[in-house]
Amino acid sequence: MRAARSKLLLLLPAAAVFVLFLVFPILIVLNESFHTFEPGRIGSVEGGPLTLANYAELFQPVYGQYFAQTYVLAICSSAVSIVFALPIAYCIARTEFAWMQKAAISAIVGLMFLSSLVRVYALELTFGSAGVLAPLMSIIDIDTNSRMYINFVILAGLLQYSIPMSILILIGAIKNLNPRLTEAAMSLGASALAAHLTVTIPLSMRGIVSAFLVSMTLGVSAFVIPLILGRGRILFISNLIYSRFSEVANYPSGAAISIVMMVLALLLILVMSRLATTLERA
């Protein structure tokens, strides 16, 4: 009994950090989101009446735009990264040269470990309005200041991380497949394309779903990418929350957006992991 208790003591520091720096802060955000905002004050009024106004406010179309902006770009980046990552992951998983596989995986891990700021700066330097490709863009008549173009640059920013990560996840999924299944399909007369569409893709569905989920989670909570590449013209939900703190000091509103964003993020994980289990069973 004493031994068991002393073993649980080892968990204490981590549990303390977790409760103090994660659970408490989130509860404070939750509490704040039900308070009224008084302009000119930092934070809400202590002991004031509780209100749902901060949430009701979010039904205005302006806010819908921010949420739509974030989710559309996140879904696009997840879908595009699956389409690009799947064939690449297949090639890497099935290559017969061990050194080639090792080199490819090292390069991909290297890209993922790269500081997000380096990645964002590299994109801005390459595709930005003051970047090295700007002269080329003006030749082929692309306006680097248009909303559409900024959207594309943000999408590129999301893809810089989600493609390598999806490749890594899918390599694992494809390695678990028996290569003989695809071979069997082909020897029975299926073309390589048909074999992959009917054998490889359905059997690696769990990997595809989890790659999609991770890309989505990353996309919807992206902060630095839209902060810099969006040039203040395109904001994600995260940036909106930050501006509630840095520009108008409307904490209750920022808190309400945070709670909605968190609930949506958790719902996404729940739905996607349910989906993965269902597909697994099917």
Which CB, 14 or 282, lies closer to other proteins? Answer: 14
Which CB, 159 or 234, lies closer to other proteins? Answer: 159
Which CB, 102 or 282, lies closer to other proteins? Answer: 102
Which of 224, 257, 203 has its CA nearest to residue 120?
224
**Shortest spacing between CB 134 and other proteins, in angstroms:** 9
Q: What angle do CA 247, 118, 149 make, to 5 degrees?
A: 65
Which CB, 15 or 72, lies closer to other proteins? Answer: 15
Which CB, 154 or 169, lies closer to other proteins? Answer: 169
Helix (H, G, I), strand (E, B) or coil at 96: coil
Which of 156, 124, 149 has its CA nearest to residue 228?
124
**Shortest spacing between CB 61 and other proteins, in angstroms:** 22
Task: Residue 185: count other Cβ atoms within 10 Å of its Cβ.
Answer: 19
Task: Residue 49: count other Cβ atoms within 10 Å of its Cβ.
Answer: 8
**Shortest spacing between CB 39 and other proteins, in angstroms:** 18
Burial of 78: CB neighbours in 10 Å, binned 0-12, 13-18, 19+ = buried
- Residue 178, token pair as written in the block: 């028996």
**Shortest spacing between CB 59 and other proteins, in angstroms:** 21
Contact 7, 229 (CB under 8 A): no
**Shortest spacing between CB 276 and other proteins, in angstroms:** 14
Secondary structure (DSSP) of 50-72: P-SHHHHGGGSHHHHHHHHHHHH
Which CB, 53 or 186, lies closer to other proteins? Answer: 186
Which residues neighbour 145 within 8 Å (Cβ) at sequence distance 6 or greater?
129
**Shortest spacing between CB 34 and other proteins, in angstroms:** 13
Task: Residue 231: count other Cβ atoms within 10 Å of its Cβ.
Answer: 15
